[in-house]
Amino acid sequence: MNLKLWITVAASCLSTAALAQDSNKLVIEGEALVTETAAPAHMENVDTIYSGWRFRSSETQALETDDFDNPGFVFLDQGVDLFEKVDGSEGKACASCHEDIEDFAGLRTQLPRVQDGKLASMEDLVNECRTERMGAKPWKWSGGQMTAMTGLIGLQSRGMPVNVEIDGEAAPFWEKGKELYYTRVGQLDMACSNCHENNFGVMIRADHLSQGQINGFPTYRLKNAKLNSIHARFKGCMKNIRAEPFKEGGDEFKALELYLASRGQGLSVETPSVRN
Amino acid sequence: MKRAFGLAAVAALATSAALAETVAPTNVALVDGVIKTSLTGQPGDAGVGRKVFANRKQGNCLACHTNSDLSEEIFHGEVGPPMDGVADRWSEGELRAIVTNSKQVFEDTIMPAFYIESGYERPLEKFAGKSILSAQQVEDVVAYLMTLKEE
């Protein structure tokens, strides 16, 4: 590697940190998605929000523009099979109650949401159907069956703007998520904000830091060649800073999920996105 | 079991004169952004420090700092200032303070404190009660940083 060049590049990146994400337009199968928009009013320190897609290499970006190239669709096909498959004591499949998967259009944009006084993520809704209505065993939060299903349901909202409720009953959960976002943890003593708010657009070793948006989840990662849940990503980031992660599906991660979703209000749902 | 092992380790430390001079993280005298003397009573090894600086499981300083002296490593982070000529800007005592506990030098910094063993929340169990670097590794890194001169 040419040293002088590297330094020049690094220096110019530093001086234009806010512009370091490229300005490509994301068009999937002919439909234009919103990957950049004005930050919602509740975000005090950021003016513009960007999808994580904008921070990836052009090769990785390209994979998301064509459903045939997008490796996440292999798993969504499994989701289609699971949707039709009878399971549990009641002899039902998802399709027994939900005639058309397309009826789920818009659902991804509103989750997580408060139900019966509790915050519910899409995984909770899926498992509620399995245990309460099908008499089937719940799926593991970040297991292959669950991500195939949340991916398939999420796809029905692709292109629609994230629009979670943060007031009223949701407010205390949102506040808790916000607090977690700004709390330093782990031996490296960092908060989500240190990387994703203060340093997005900057390289951290080999990684180009994004805003840590969740509009593309579950996301196919080249790193592990599967669909990854939102909570699994949170867990990974916490482990990287040598922090004991919260439980997947637990109150902390659900609150954090609501807060992060709200930091992406207006971005298009990109499920299933492709990241490295 | 663990406790017995701990006692044995303490005894072993006490018999080794060189190690006995190592300042524990809680006893480090960081005053006005400076730590005057070596944390181990020994000089650092710049060659070892260069490796600690790059190693992802040790300093991993390269995650956040570019450094032309390590051009053989392909990925250099840009979160913090470049390390080129850092010894022209800071004295040895200041660099020791920055590496030991940057938070006492730069307010609200993202840079981790490398020689503290408490004061952070929810560490993974295997890191609990430990510092990221040992006292000697801090000295090695400081000795290495002292070689990064441009003038």
Domains and CATH numbers, chain B: 2-145 (1.10.760.10)
Asked whether the beta carbons of residue A188 and residue B78 sit closer than 8 angstroms, the reply is no
- Nearest Cα neighbor of A148 from A94, A110, A223 is A94
Domains and CATH numbers, chain A: 21-276 (1.10.760.10)
pLDDT at A23: 62
Asked whether the beta carbons of residue A239 and residue B56 sit closer than 8 angstroms, the reply is no
pLDDT in tens, B110-141: 999 999 999 999 999 999 999 999 999 999 99
Given a cut of 70, is residue B16 above it in pLDDT? no
Contact residues, chain B, for A187 at CB < 8 Å: 112, 120, 123-124, 127-128, 130, 132
**Residue B84 Cα, gap to closest chain A Cα (Å):** 10
Reading the block at residue B85, the tokens are 């000529």
CA distances from B101 to A6, A17, B24, B28, B105 (A): 29, 26, 13, 10, 7
Q: What percent of chain B has pLDDT over 90?
A: 85
The mean pLDDT value for A181-200 works out to 98
Confidence of residue A6 (pLDDT cuts 50, 70, 90): very low
Reading the block at residue A230, the tokens are 């939102």
Mean pLDDT taken over chain A: 92
pLDDT in tens, A127-181: 999 999 999 999 999 999 999 999 999 999 999 999 999 999 999 999 999 999 9
Mark whether A129 is an active-site residue. no
The mean pLDDT value for A244-267 works out to 98
The mean pLDDT value for B7-18 works out to 48
Q: Helix A251-262 vs helix A230-240: angle between axes, to the nearest 10 degrees?
A: 100
Provide residues of B within 8 Å CB-CB of chain A: 56, 60, 62-64, 66, 68, 71, 74-79, 82, 84, 103, 110, 112-113, 119-125, 127-128, 130, 132
- Candidate list A97, A129, A192, A237, residue with the active-site label: A237
Asked whether the beta carbons of residue B77 and residue A244 sit closer than 8 angstroms, the reply is no
Contact residues, chain B, for A199 at CB < 8 Å: 79, 110
Confidence of residue B70 (pLDDT cuts 50, 70, 90): very high
The reported pTM is 0.91
Nearest CB neighbour to A243, from listed B56, B78, B123: B123
**Residue B101 Cα, gap to closest chain A Cα (Å):** 11
pLDDT at A93: 97
Asked whether the beta carbons of residue B112 and residue A187 sit closer than 8 angstroms, the reply is yes
pLDDT at A2: 34
pLDDT in tens, A13-51: 443 333 345 668 999 988 999 999 999 999 999 999 999
DSSP state of B112: P
pLDDT at B21: 85
